[in-house]
Amino acid sequence: MIIESTISLLLLLIQVPATALLLSRLLKGPRRHPPLKPQQPTPDILGSVSVVVPTLNEALRISPLLAGLSRQSYEVREVIVVDSRSQDGTPELVKAVQEKDPRFRVMTDDPLPPGWVGRPWALHNGFLFSSPDSEWFLGMDADIQPDPGLVASLVKTAQAEGYDLVSLSPQFILQYPGECWLQPALLMTLLYRFDPAGVYTEQPERVMANGQCFLCRRSVLAAVDGYSSAQSSFCDDVTLARNIAAAGFKVGFFDGAKVFKVRMYEGAMETWKEWGRSLDLKDAAESAQIWGDLWLLSAVQGLPLIVVLAYLPISPSPYLPISLVLAVNVFLVIIRFALLLAIAPSYDRKNAQGGWLFWLSPLADPLAVLRIFLSAFRTPKEWRGRKY
């Protein structure tokens, strides 16, 4: 039992402080801002928003976004699709919508300069090309499906609460068994590391953001020279949001599951490859913060199920450290399943094959934490069809 007791003491040293940190964040949940709901526009926000959408071969995914943006009301002054020389007919789809809705425009961005990643470069071009008369810049991804009243809700929330930048978490659409199991575990790596959506964070380095739906005052974006400060970041949304928060502006991240959906990746393998390599957020954080997050994820997400399964055969034990380790990890497993219940509304599983696997996603936690480790020490060589 000496070896088991020694291992137990080490686990307690690793896990108890991490559990306390996790609880300090989760306890903020009851006072979080409620999920945004669609709102009707009012005359004071007439023509106040320029929407910019970066695209590269998005013909198979962009139609729901174009239809959803057409249903937004008069608060949207213009919709600028910045295309990076798509070869699949993406610009033609936008031009077809433009014939019915003159707010739509499509432009081709300049060749990618050295030091820039494609997405921030396209958004930067869209910002420069957008109307200076718009008060708000709204960056949106081609794979989202906005509900009517989304844009009005964003603007009214930002105005009412004095935010300079607001972004939203979506409702994720799941279709295949593997992603129903893996994707919630990957999402959980974000929930453990940051305050709940809807809780205002005063520390710029802990700010969270989502570029899929990213509303910023045009004057604020101009003050930080557009996307220049995030030009080389593969998580440009978080990098830019933290830079804006560090400059003294108010940044908010809210639950948007009731106002837009997203179908990000097809199947578990694509989810593992594409989403997994951006979740580490290494381009938006210092090394110490990355290592701290890796410690936290290992302690409270990666280890608990493994420890419980390993310690059950030796329980009950007269050795206090062993009993404490088992108790701590059972507690963490309970928290994990409670969080799974909490995030269930953030998933659309109505048409999913094997949607029940969502409830077994805690079994994928060790893999999800491993994915963050692998990503944290690798620079992407390919992203959304571009090679770097």
Assigned domain for 187 exists: no
Residue keyed to tokens 């964070």 = 201
Q: At what angle do helices 118-129 and 236-246 cross, to 10 degrees?
A: 60
Same domain, 56 and 11: no
Last residue of a domain, one of 234, 264, 294: 264
Tell me the C-alpha distance between 193 and 297, whole Å: 7
Is the same domain home to 26 and 95? no
Query: Which pLDDT score is estimated for 384?
Result: 65
pLDDT at 318: 65
Using alpha carbons only, give the angle 201, 204, 209 rounded to the nearest 5 degrees: 70
Same domain, 133 and 215: yes
Residues 116 and 135 in one domain: yes
Looking at the domain assignment, is residue 279 inside a domain? Answer: no
Question: Are 143 and 109 within one domain?
Answer: yes
Q: What is the DSSP letter of 196?
A: P
| 334 and 219 belong to one structural domain | no
Whether 152 and 237 map to the same domain: the answer is yes
The tokens describing 310, both together, are 């390993």
Is residue 225 domain-shared with residue 307, that is, in the same domain?
no
| CA atoms of 226 and 219, how far apart (whole Å) | 10
CATH code of the domain in which 243 resides: 3.90.550.10
- Write out the H or E segment, with its range, that includes residue 21: helix 2-26
Does an H or E element contain 8, and which? helix 2-26
d(CA 120, CA 229): 10
Give 255's strand partners.
169
Rg (CA), the chain: 22
Residues 77 and 158 in one domain: yes
Which H helix or E strand runs over 78? strand 76-83
Residue 273: inside a domain? no
Q: Which residue is associated with the tokens 């989403």?
A: 275
- Identify the domain boundary among 264, 299, 324: 264
**Is residue 153 situated within a structural domain?**
yes
pLDDT for 319 equals 67
Indicate whether 270 belongs to any domain: no
Tell me, yes or no, whether 182 lies in a domain: no
**Looking at the structure, do residues 335 and 300 belong to the same domain, yes or no?**
yes
Q: How far is it, in rounded angstroms, from Cα 235 to Cα 379?
A: 12
Asked if residue 19 and residue 53 are part of one domain, the reply reads: no
pLDDT at 316: 64
The reply to whether 185 falls in a domain is no
Q: What is the DSSP letter of 5?
A: H
Total structural domains within the chain: 2
> Could you list the residue range(s) of the whole structural domain that residue 136 is in?
33-174+196-264
Look at residue 227 in the predicted model and tell me its pLDDT. Answer: 97
Q: Are residues 330 and 223 in the same domain?
A: no
- The domain boundary, picked from 264, 297, 320, lies at 264
Averages of pLDDT over each 10 residues, the chain, 388 residues: 80 95 94 95 95 95 96 97 93 95 94 92 96 97 96 97 97 96 96 94 94 97 96 94 97 97 92 86 92 97 95 71 90 97 96 95 97 88 67
In whole angstroms, what is the distance from residue 98 CA to residue 79 CA? 10
Q: How are beta strands 49-55 and 76-83 bridged, if at all?
A: parallel
pLDDT, residue 42, reads 94
Measured in degrees and rounded to the nearest 5, phi and psi for residue 113 equal -75, 160
Residue 247 resides in a domain: yes
d(CA 18, CA 9): 14
